[in-house]
């Protein structure tokens, strides 16, 4: 196990009716906030009315900025920064999913920053000034941004989708009421499940030895996600299944499962290029890239992938024939994605192979070769994109 420091300042307020506590929870952070949200789902569901009523009851004043789109972009971030400065707002309250929360974090980062906030995403430098605090009311369990230190923003002009991380960006609190997920379209549930599973894969597949506890926590969380996603597949109003998924999605990316081990993050880097060029949903892109990555790197890491097949995917067989275990493990993962209606080939996302060289170059352009388990250069990334064209393994 590697040395680690684990610090997670996000308070979780979890359960039924918790959205009504937003105003009271915000009061200690000052009187004026920016209420940030997406394309309208919170108005249709009544959540907007509940949150604004709770702000008013607690005497918290707010300016509002809606319109965050999935794969959030820079112009709205600049608008949010302007509003916060003009009205001296002291906190950004994100009511939405990963896109709204990431946009809120970018605004929070940009308000005290001299110069263009996008430069931080390019340079990865830590912020000189403390960002505004961010708080969230989560409406989709998926990205884990409700307690992660990360934000991912798309610059449409340069067609780049880049992440940025700072411990100072972890929200001060996040409200998670699983009842709020009942209104999610089925494909967004599936996208969320794919994303949170990937957050665990990026940590689970490692070269680091003596990681028994975190291996076991990763495996239990993956099994919990798959079991409950299957329940939601049949009954999208099952509160308990949503509660399990939401708790798992949070654990998947608050980095408790990643401490003490080298992490990978190759699939996320490869997927971000799909989202940047084709605006595909992040979870859908991951369902296409992940099995292809597994097929490409597993021959060199058979123990890790055989362990995955047995402990996560429930494959039975002999460790003397790891190839058979691994093949069945990957095949079961692909079948699970298909059960949820997720895509499993590039063709289903309408991605042109002619773009693979550009996407591969961009994937490695920020930090050089990607991936912790196996270092991937541009040639490897192109090979994985090509494997992802072939679709699932035959049964």
Q: Residue-wise over 354-369: b if at least 16 C-beta within 10 A, else e?
A: eebeebbebbbebeee
Helices 239-253 and 186-204 pack at an angle, to 10 degrees, of 40
To the nearest whole angstrom, how small is the minimum distance from the Cβ of residue 326 to ligand NZQ? Answer: 25
Between CA 141 and CA 97 the distance in angstroms is: 7
191: tokens are 């996208």
Does position 102 bind Zn ion by CB under 5 A? no
Does position 150 bind ligand NZQ by CB under 6 A? yes
User: What number of CA atoms fall less than 13 Å from residue 132's CA on the CB side?
Assistant: 27
Q: Of the candidates 22, 89, 140, 325, which one interacts with ligand NZQ according to CB under 6 A?
A: 140
Site for ligand NZQ in 154-213 (CB under 6 A): 180-181, 183-184, 188, 191-192, 195
Among residues 177, 178, 192, the alpha carbon closest in space to that of 145 is found at: 192
- Mapping DSSP to helix (H, G, I), strand (E, B) and coil, where does residue 394 land? coil
Q: Of the candidates 51, 111, 143, 333, which one interacts with ligand NZQ according to CB under 6 A?
A: 143
Site for ligand NZQ in 45-64 (CB under 6 A): 45
To the nearest whole angstrom, how small is the minimum distance from the Cβ of residue 201 to Zn ion? Answer: 10
The 194-223 contact track toward Zn ion, x by CB under 5 A, reads: -x----------------------------
Stretch that binds Zn ion, among 14-22, 193-201, 350-358, 379-387 (CB under 5 A): 193-201
To the nearest whole angstrom, how small is the minimum distance from the Cβ of residue 74 to ligand NZQ? Answer: 13
Q: Of the candidates 19, 103, 148, 298, which one interacts with ligand NZQ according to CB under 6 A?
A: 148
Specify whether the backbone of 209 is left (phi greater than 0), alpha (psi in -120 to 50) or beta: beta
The 73-112 contact track toward ligand NZQ, x by CB under 6 A, reads: -----------------------xxxxx-x----------
40 binds, among ligand NZQ, Zn ion, none (CB under 5 to 8 A by kind): ligand NZQ
Site for ligand NZQ in 227-256 (CB under 6 A): 253
Q: 156: how many CB neighbours lie within 10 A of its CB?
A: 13
Specify whether the backbone of 368 is left (phi greater than 0), alpha (psi in -120 to 50) or beta: left
Helices 212-234 and 186-204 pack at an angle, to 10 degrees, of 170
- 195/380 with CB nearer Zn ion: 195
- 151/298 with CB nearer ligand NZQ: 151
Give the pairing of strands 134-138 and 160-165. unpaired
Q: Of the candidates 19, 145, 166, 214, which one interacts with ligand NZQ according to CB under 6 A?
A: 145
- Alpha carbon distance, N-terminus to C-terminus of the chain: 37
Partners of residue 62 on adjacent β-strands: 33
To the nearest whole angstrom, how small is the minimum distance from the Cβ of residue 195 to ligand NZQ? Answer: 6
Specify whether the backbone of 255 is left (phi greater than 0), alpha (psi in -120 to 50) or beta: left
What φ, ψ does residue 174 adopt, rounded to 5°? -135, 130
Site for ligand NZQ in 262-301 (CB under 6 A): 268, 282-283
Report DSSP state, residue 1.
Answer: -
Between CA 100 and CA 83 the distance in angstroms is: 16
To the nearest whole angstrom, how small is the minimum distance from the Cβ of residue 163 to Zn ion? Answer: 9
Between CA 65 and CA 312 the distance in angstroms is: 42
Residue nearest to Zn ion (CB): 195
Between CA 286 and CA 295 the distance in angstroms is: 14
Stretch that binds Zn ion, among 54-62, 187-195, 241-249, 374-382 (CB under 5 A): 187-195
Stretch that binds ligand NZQ, among 128-136, 139-147, 206-214, 235-243 (CB under 6 A): 139-147
Report DSSP state, residue 206.
Answer: -
Does position 152 bind ligand NZQ by CB under 6 A? yes
Site of interaction with ligand NZQ (CB under 6 A): 38-42, 45, 70-71, 96-100, 102, 139-140, 142-145, 148, 150-152, 180-181, 183-184, 188, 191-192, 195, 253, 268, 282-283
Site of interaction with Zn ion (CB under 5 A): 195
């Amino acid at each position: 196990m590697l040395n680690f420091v684990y610090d997670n300042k996000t308070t979780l307020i979890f359960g039924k009716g918790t959205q009504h506590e937003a105003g009271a929870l915000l009061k200690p952070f000052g009187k004026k906030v920016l209420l940030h949200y997406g394309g309208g789902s919170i108005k249709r569901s009544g959540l907007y009315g509940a949150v604004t009523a709770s702000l008013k009851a607690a005497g918290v004043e707010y300016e509002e900025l809606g319109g965050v789109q999935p794969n959030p972009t820079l112009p709205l971030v600049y608008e949010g920064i302007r509003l916060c400065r003009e009205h001296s707002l002291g906190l950004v309250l994100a009511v939405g999913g990963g896109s709204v929360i990431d946009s809120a974090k970018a605004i929070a980062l940009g308000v005290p920053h001299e110069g263009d906030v996008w430069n931080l995403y390019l340079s990865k430098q830590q912020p000189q000034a403390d960002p505004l605090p961010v708080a969230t009311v989560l409406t989709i369990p998926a990205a884990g941004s409700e307690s992660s230190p990360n934000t991912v923003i798309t610059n449409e002009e340069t067609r780049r989708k880049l992440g940025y991380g700072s411990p100072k960006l972890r929200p001060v609190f996040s409200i998670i009421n699983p009842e709020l997920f009942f209104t999610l379209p089925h494909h967004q549930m599936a996208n969320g499940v794919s994303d949170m599973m990937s957050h665990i894969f990026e940590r689970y597949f490692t070269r680091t030895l003596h990681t028994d506890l975190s291996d076991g926590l990763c495996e239990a969380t993956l099994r919990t996600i798959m079991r409950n996603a299957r329940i939601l597949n049949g009954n999208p109003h099952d509160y308990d299944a949503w509660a399990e998924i939401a708790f798992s999605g949070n654990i998947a990316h608050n980095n408790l499962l990643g401490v003490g081990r080298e992490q990978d993050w190759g699939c996320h880097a490869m997927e971000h290029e799909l989202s940047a060029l084709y605006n595909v949903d992040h979870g859908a892109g991951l369902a296409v890239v992940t099995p292809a990555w597994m097929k490409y790197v597993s021959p060199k890491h058979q123990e890790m992938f055989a362990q995955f097949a047995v402990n996560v995917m429930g494959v039975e067989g002999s460790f003397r024939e790891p190839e058979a275990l691994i093949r069945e493990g990957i095949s079961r993962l692909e079948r699970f994605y298909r059960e949820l209606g997720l895509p499993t080939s590039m063709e289903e996302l309408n991605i042109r192979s002619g773009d693979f060289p550009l996407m591969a170059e961009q994937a490695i352009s920020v930090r050089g070769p990607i991936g912790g388990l196996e270092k991937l250069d541009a040639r490897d990334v192109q090979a994985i994109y090509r494997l992802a064209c072939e679709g699932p393994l035959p049964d």
